[in-house]
Structure 1
Amino acid sequence: GGVNTVSRGFGRVKEDYRLCLVGRVLTDSVVHFPSMIRTWANLWHLLGGVSITDIGEKRVLFIFHYEVDINRVIEGMPWSFNRHLIIFHPMGPGEDPLQVPLIYIEFWLQNHNLPMEVISEGLARQFGNSIGQFVQYDSSLVTRGIRRYMQIWVKIDVRMPLK
């Protein structure tokens, strides 16, 4: 799949909002738009391609052609460009890509050296909420006794310092 780009401007999104992401690179520096597009095209290897538009206010709109492609990008988060994190927001019905808050990023965190008997979803929830907002807990391998760490998916407000 190819990458179609528009360097500036934004018209009304007529495409299915479920296939759209809006994003921004977490940096105060100027981002070289063509380099960013080449980097993502090389990393993502999309089946159906994506249209990428610089919509201003340091925001970029991504319109994917296939659901499998947008899902691959979402599942691969977090992404970065030139060592700067990129915040993506999946568009919802009626949302304006220039207005949605781009302030949250989600990560898998690992807490190592915990005794197996204390690892639980309750502890994961408590730990996740102490850092940001708990999203989910991966218990799949812990229950088989393979891991000696807890893996937690958390949502973090990038405006706040880490605790």
Structure 2
Amino acid sequence: MASLNLLDEEEEAFHEEAAVVDTSFQLCLVGGCLTDSVVHFPSLRNTLADLWHSIWGICISNLGEKRILFQFFHKVDISRVLAGTQWFFNNHLLVLHRIQPGEIPSLVPLNLIEFWVQVHDLPSRMVTEHMTKQFGDFISQFLEYDMAFRPPNYQNYMRIRVRLDVTASLK
């Protein structure tokens, strides 16, 4: 305590603290189950923590209004969850959104989800990069394609990643 000094330097420390608050959602997802029924939060928290098995851990918090905050502590963990397939809890689709700087987790719309779509039995002339983009935009919003993944004997096949508005299909 003898070396404690209360001078003008305190104000700088306060500004550094504010910068930490701005980036506190850097490795966070906000999500919710696509259902009208009640989701048992403790079960969801335990199940997803076990399923995702984060290297550096995960903090799962209930935000209320059927929203959950997932805080990761390493970029590898959040990338692995986002790159995975669709996630479900009790047969309900889990809609996830990566929080961007300035976004408020309780206000982020949870209506978009990414899917891999497979298109089969195409004429070989239609299996092109240009056609994947057209198919993707026809389905919803094209994101990417994977022409490298082709099972043997499936030359007339394509995989397209699209972003769908899942709430539009509920109306």
TM, length-normalised to structure 1: 0.84
Post-superposition shift, 1:140? Answer: 1.7
Paired position in structure 2 for 1:26:
34
- Residue 122 of structure 2 aligns with an amino acid whose one-letter code is L
Paired position in structure 2 for 1:37:
45
Higher helix proportion (structure 1 or 2): 2
Taking only aligned residues, the RMSD between alpha carbons, in angstroms, comes to 2.0
Write out aligned runs for 1:3-82 (5 A).
Answer: 14=21, 16-82=24-90
Report percent identity of matched pairs: 49
Q: Gaps (5+ residues) in structure 1?
A: 1-12
Post-superposition shift, 1:43? Answer: 1.2
Post-superposition shift, 1:145? Answer: 7.7
2:128 maps to which of 103, 120, 128: 120
Deviations 1:91-147 (A, max 9, x none): 1111000111111000000001112221012211111111110111112245x9864
- Residue 27 of structure 2 aligns with an amino acid whose one-letter code is L
Deviations 1:49-95 (A, max 9, x none): 11111111110001111111111111114211111111110011110
Paired position in structure 1 for 2:103:
95
State which structure, 1 or 2, has the greater radius of gyration over its C-alpha atoms. 2
**Partners in 2 of 1:106 and 1:57 — Cα distance?**
23
Q: Which SS does the other structure have where 2:167 is aligned?
A: coil
Q: Gaps (5+ residues) in structure 2?
A: 1-19
Contact 1:141 1:147 (8 Å CA) reproduced: no
Q: How many residues are treated as equivalent by the alignment?
A: 149
- The reply on whether 1:158 has 2:134 as its aligned counterpart is no
**Partners in 1 of 2:153 and 2:24 — Cα distance?**
43
TM, length-normalised to structure 2: 0.80
- Residue 81 of structure 1 aligns with an amino acid whose one-letter code is F
